[in-house]
Structure 1
Amino acid sequence: MSLFQGSRGFVSNLIGAAERALGVRLPRSYLDALASGAVLDGRRCPTPFPTSWAADHFEVAALLGIGGPDGIDGEFGSAYLVEEWEYPDIGVVICQTPSGGHDIVMLDYTACGPTGEPFVAFIDEDRVPRRVAGSFAEFLAKLE
C-alpha cells in the first residue's frame, strides 16, 4: 500500500500545510518520491562544474520529508537551514549532503515563481546556486 492509499485526507492536509508554510507548490515528482518511501536510487549527482566534493559531482545523503520539526516545513526545516547556514533564499532545501551543512540541494523557484516547476540547484560553500537539473524528476533520474 502506498502512502496515498487509505490516508488521502491526512496526506492532503500534510501537503497543504507544508505548501502554505513554505509559500510554494511542491513538485509532484518530489511528493511521489516521498510517497514511495524517499529512498534514493543513487547518491552521486554528476555536474558539469567542480564542487567542494570532486571535479565532477556531489553526494546526496538523504531526501528531506515534510511534517514534524525536521521536515522541510518544520522548525528545523528549510527556512531554518537557509538562515542558519546563510544559503541563498531561492526556494526550499530538499536534500541533506554528507558535509553537514557546508553544501545543500534546493528547489529553486526564482525563475518559475511559487506555483511553477522549480529547477534543482546545488549550493556549495561559496553559496552560489548552480542548476543541476531542470526539474526534481530530472534530478532523481541523474543520481548514480
Structure 2
Amino acid sequence: MNNQFWDDSDYYTISNPVSDETINEAEKELGYKLPSTYIELIRSKNGGTPINTCFRTTKATSWAEDHIAITAIHGIGEPSGIDSKEYGSKFMIEDWGYPDIGIVICSCPSAGHDAVMLDYSECGKNGEPKVIHVDVESLNGPKITFLAKDFESFISNLVNENEFSI
C-alpha cells in the first residue's frame, strides 16, 4: 500500500498489529469475509485517517451536493475497530440503526449520524461487497447512496478535501 495514503495522525490507529489470527477472529465475530484490499490496507496501518478524505458522488448526500467525507477507516481490534464490542460495526447497527447488510467501515464527520459501509446484500457473506454511504438521520429511514463497486475502487477514488469549495 502506498505510504502516501495515510495521514500522520494516529488518532484512529489501533496499536495492535494485524495478524492472520486477528483477521480470522474479526471475520468470525462480524460474520463476513473482509475484502483483500481492506486487509492489505490495515496491514500497512491498523486504521486511521487517510490523506484524501472525500469521495465524489453523483447524488446529494447529507454532507454535500457532490461528495461525502470520512474521518477514519477503521482497523481491527479495540477500542475503535470494526469488530470492537463497544464501538464497532455491530454496535452501530444495533444502537444507531444502520442496516444489517454488512460492516460499518468508515466514520464520517457527523459523529455517527452517517457512515460508510461494506454492503454484502447482493454478494453474500463471502463475496466482494460494494461500498455505500448510509445516513441514518433521514426522515424516511436510512438513506443509502451507492459509492463504489468494491473497497479497492472506493479507496482509489478518495480525493483531497481541497478539491471542493467550502
Would the TM-score normalized by the shorter structure come out above 0.5? Answer: yes
Match of 1:80 among 91, 105, 108: 91
> What do the CA deviations read for 1:84-142 (whole angstroms, capped 9, x no partner)?
21111110000011110111000000000000000001002321222100000000011
Q: Secondary structure at the match of 2:21?
A: helix
- Structure 2 unaligned residues grouped into runs of 5+: 1-17, 160-166
Letter in 1 for 2:70: V
Separation (CA, whole Å) in 2 of partners of 1:77 and 1:41: 23
Q: Secondary structure at the match of 2:19?
A: helix
Letter in 2 for 1:36: S
Letter in 1 for 2:50: L
1:5 corresponds to which residue?
none
Shift of 1:65: 0.7
Aligned residue pair count? 135
Residue 97 (structure 1) aligned with residue 108 (structure 2)? yes
1:140 corresponds to which residue?
155
Separation (CA, whole Å) in 2 of partners of 1:110 and 1:129: 13
Shift of 1:54: 0.9
Shift of 1:79: 0.3
- Structure 1 unaligned residues grouped into runs of 5+: 1-9
TM-score by length of 1: 0.89
Does the 8 Å contact 1:88/1:129 carry over to 2?
Answer: no
Match of 2:36 among 28, 51, 55: 28
- Higher share in helix: 1
TM-score by length of 2: 0.78
Shift of 1:70: 2.2
1:43 corresponds to which residue?
53
Does the 8 Å contact 1:88/1:128 carry over to 2?
Answer: no
Letter in 2 for 1:97: C
Separation (CA, whole Å) in 2 of partners of 1:41 and 1:70: 19
Separation (CA, whole Å) in 1 of partners of 2:44 and 2:144: 28
Equivalences for residues 102-117 of structure 1 within 5 A: 102-117=113-128
State the superposition RMSD in angstroms: 1.2
1:13 corresponds to which residue?
21
